[in-house]
Amino acid sequence: MIEHYTEAFVLDREDFKEHDGIVHLYTEELGKVSARARGLKKILSKSSAHLEPLNFVRVRLMSMKSGYYQIIDVMPHDTISVREKKKDVRRCSVLLAMAEFIRKMTYELHPDEYLWDVMKRLAGAEADEGEMYRALLKAFGFDPQYATCTVCQHPEVSHFLHDDHGFYCRHCASKMSANAIVL
């Protein structure tokens, strides 16, 4: 069993068994990790509030013999806080979109230092959804500045579809599914 102490951004959480939960984190050292949090749903749980989506935390993870990670303890991050941003509905929706996009676009246990820095910068900035997606796509290696439409090769792209990792112009995106992200 190996213990890791790292900073993390809480992407999402889901129920697991009666009192436990699975928390999806993007960590500085490990990349995306899905970890079990024991007693997360108990009324007196000390870690429940810290493990809400969109929080930056310091977390101690234990790599168990069976291959999964377990959260041992968690503390709020002292220099990065999104508490005030959660009160603003528009800003909260941008952060939720960022968390969902990162969860879809990353693989488990593939750390990316540049992506981590972009996430911290975006959490502290007042960016709209388009700016946020452009910054994240650049971090993933899909810079929209150099992209052309996958269908018609038009140089001005306005949408990104994460299913096929393709960029689309406004005309071609109108024929696509609703999953296309507006840049």
CATH number at residue 26: 2.40.50.140
Determine the structural domain holding residue 70 and report its residue range: 1-127
H-state helical runs in 110-175: 113-124, 129-140, 170-173
Q: Are residues 103 and 168 in the same domain?
A: no
Examine the domain organization and report whether 26 and 91 are in the same domain.
yes
pLDDT of res. 80:
65
Question: Do 154 and 89 share a structural domain?
Answer: no
- Looking at the fold, whether 117 and 56 belong to one and the same domain comes out as yes
148's torsion region: left (phi>0), alpha (psi -120 to 50) or beta?
beta
Does residue 26 sit in the same domain as residue 85?
yes
- Is the separation of the CB atoms in 158 and 168 below 8 Å? yes
Same domain, 36 and 91: yes
The pTM for the full model equals: 0.89
pLDDT tens profile 62-117 = 998 888 999 999 998 876 666 666 678 888 888 899 999 999 999 999 999 999 99
